[in-house]
Structure 1
């Protein structure tokens, strides 16, 4: 777990629990780890409702967790018939788990994928080229939830032995033996896994992600208004990829070849909807801000709305109809804020019938109404936005 941090004091974590051996073992390990540090663990049991016995299995799993002193919630999912059932079930499960963790005020969500799952995924992707062979990441950010997979280097047999040695039972999912599913067929022919280059294993990927995280934590200040100050003359391409994805509100970073043109030294440029500017009065280094022309159009101002792939609405002030970029109004609003003019144009603002109603990130605005919560499946660095000033 330490390698997937940093974690604060008294860490609170949630675990997605299917009831199977892998997730049960992870929940027990995570609960022990959190308790040793004065924190706690919440088990989130997703019941897809795809089999008549699934509700009873979810209840049984809950009782097992309760007997271990671990809190839990059962999440009932509704899935209709149709194609790609497993993919839809996975997406619904992940969305439900993230929502439940968020509702409990928990940032870190743990999933029980192990070394066997990693090998199966690589085998299924073997025909898609070397990028696909990288497999699952141990650390990934989804909106404001951090997803961790601590067991990617662990043999599933070890997890079963761990539970058996403690007299803890688990649920066997019959779909794990259903040859209609690709992962089951792949498991039956695991010899394919020998074709996967070992250089792209989970340990190496995790180490690379830690290097990026350390670089960003050392050289970059990410600000809650959706911009960054880079204190170094240059950054590795991998670190730039994270920054451009996060600040550009994109699911994926710009092409590597384009990022490489910003090395070995940063320079004024615009790429992927992000501007690089000299820091000027903000000190040595560079500012990375959203390109005003690339900002998304306004969206309806409702709780939970995401604007520009970067900002999530938590609360809506009375009279607000839409949320969008402050734009040209930045010439008059926020001039004394100390924020660069190019950035102010990109700040989220609430608009009513008569124009700008409020700007949450400027003085006088509802500061907690909108939060910087960049989107995307790519792993993001574990560094926290810090207040400006």
Structure 2
């Protein structure tokens, strides 16, 4: 309803990096009710970020090398799944990967949907008519009573909040600004956080400001008149409700599938996100050791004191960044004392250019 009230093309989506984090959450807890508790805490933190600007700034100011490396560490094991699936379930995984590879060259936009379609067909052949006979085919809303486990909250809820803020909400605000829309953070964050809390009781994870879809609906492709582009976001919400009616069939397919196949499809879909996060993590040469340390700890999947690797990756990244930052004196010496490569001895004088 926010687009209707604000008359702005504000669009929301599920947290994509958050979904990647959830794929890896099995190492944190096997209790779904505890995950629900972590989702609720994440939603409350998003609301607080909207009501308390200092908290929002603190999260969004997490250095890019650390945030990107943590996300890369979360994604890496998932993106290995297509390789493992090709060995464990070759009848489904090999055709799926080959179709993805072919279309990645010829029609990149359709590579992941086509791979998913091949996987669904393979699962249907493997499981037979039992897929359609499953009770899960009929859409149903099932509420779950949350369990607030402190270890799961720290291992899952806090990293989910961080990646949602840094990986989705910040780019979302940037996209809207690119198209000339200045959004007040408070209503957006409070609304998305409250929606996250409500959705958590039905198993939904973080809801955030959209970035990629926002770039479509806030652009001239949506409507030449910037004042009318909010209609696209409002109607897309209605379409999402209609698509939700097919969620039961999707759930039935997932239940009938070997788990590695579902993870493999996610791995193919997240390869682009992995590349982007690794590139962002290693972009600044001065922080590459910090980024690699964060990545390795997060990707390791370790759990210390019951707390998962995503949190410890953030901790290790912060410690490395503080320890390895250049000292003021050494920086000043580097400025005053040119390196041998920059010495003019033995070289022709350079001509200054505008």
| Structure 1 length-normalised TM | 0.19
More relative contact order, 1 or 2 (CA 8 Å, 6+ apart):
2
Which is helix-richer, 1 or 2?
2
TM-score (norm 2): 0.20
- Name the one with the larger strand percent: 1
